[in-house]
């Protein structure tokens, strides 16, 4: 799900602050900031309609829920940092359940809910890990839909387009 505009503004502000950190990385563009339930990779054109139907069925089973974005977490770990992401606090547990149901019904590669900030090429691990500890975002929003998002890779960065949006509830 693409993040709401006001949440994107907050996250973009954090990304701009991180640009001065001792690291080289590829930041996620403001318009592409999203909450990922499952990464499907290459899908066949004839499968898009089936996926849309399954998303609609899943969406009916879940009411909207609130999540909170909090601290920055290194992925996969502090000792081997490939991605920096915002951690998601999902007190209702609905987000994680929805993520698991998407994988069960549709497939794909899924990690615990997070919002990717950047893909790391190089970093001064000690200093960046200290900076991570001092940064906190405290913004929450309502997850009220699940989306099928197409990503087209381009030289200047990926171009995302929403192929389908299924309202929860």
Cα–Cα distances (Å) from 126 to 18, 65, 123, 130, 132, in that order, read: 15, 36, 9, 6, 10
Instruction: Identify the pLDDT of residue 159.
Output: 83
Contact 88, 113 (CB under 8 A): yes
Model confidence at 33: pLDDT above 90: yes
- Using alpha carbons only, what angle is made at residue 155 by residues 153 and 161, rounded to the nearest 5 degrees? 35
- Strand, coil or helix: what is 95? helix
Instruction: Identify the pLDDT of residue 154.
Output: 81
Q: Which of 33, 114, 123, 146 is catalytic?
A: 114
Instruction: Identify the pLDDT of residue 110.
Output: 86
Q: Which fold has domain 5-167?
A: Cyclic Phosphodiesterase; Chain: A, (3.90.1140)
Give the pLDDT mean for 23-47: 92
Model confidence at 156: pLDDT above 80: no
The secondary structure of residue 21, as a DSSP letter, is: S
Contact 22, 124 (CB under 8 A): yes
Instruction: Identify the pLDDT of residue 16.
Output: 96
Percent of the chain with pLDDT over 90: 81
Q: Which of 34, 73, 99, 101 is catalytic?
A: 34
Say whether the peptide bond before residue 76 is cis (omega within 30 degrees of 0): yes
- DSSP for 36-104 reads -S-B--S--GGGHHHHHHHHHHHHHT---EEEEEEEEEEEE-SSSEEEEEEEEE-TTSHHHHHHHHHHH
State the residue for tokens 């929403």.
162
* 114 in catalytic set: yes
Give the pLDDT mean for 145-165: 88
pTM over 0.75: yes
* 164 in catalytic set: no
pLDDT digits (tens, 9 = 90+) for 93-147: 999 999 999 999 999 888 899 999 999 999 999 999 999 999 988 899 999 999 9
Domain limits, the chain: 5-167
Instruction: Identify the pLDDT of residue 169.
Output: 93
What value does the CA radius of gyration of the chain take, rounded to a whole number of Å? Answer: 16
């Amino acid at each position: 799900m693409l993040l709401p505009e006001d949440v994107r503004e907050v996250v973009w502000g954090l990304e701009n602050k991180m640009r001065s950190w001792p690291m080289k990385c590829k930041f996620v563009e403001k318009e592409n900031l999203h909450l990922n339930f499952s990464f499907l990779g290459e899908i066949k054109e004839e499968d898009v309609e089936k996926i849309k139907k399954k998303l609609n069925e899943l969406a009916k089973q879940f009411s909207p829920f609130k999540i909170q974005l909090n601290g920055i977490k290194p992925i996969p770990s502090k000792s081997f940092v490939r991605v920096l992401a915002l951690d998601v606090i999902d007190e209702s547990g609905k987000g994680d359940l929805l993520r698991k149901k998407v994988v069960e019904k549709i497939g794909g590669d899924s990690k615990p809910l997070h919002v990717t900030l950047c893909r790391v090429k190089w970093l001064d691990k000690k200093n960046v890990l200290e900076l991570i500890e001092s940064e906190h975002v405290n913004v929450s929003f309502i997850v009220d839909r699940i989306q099928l998002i197409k990503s087209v890779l381009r030289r200047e960065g990926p171009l995302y387009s929403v192929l389908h949006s299924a309202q929860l509830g």
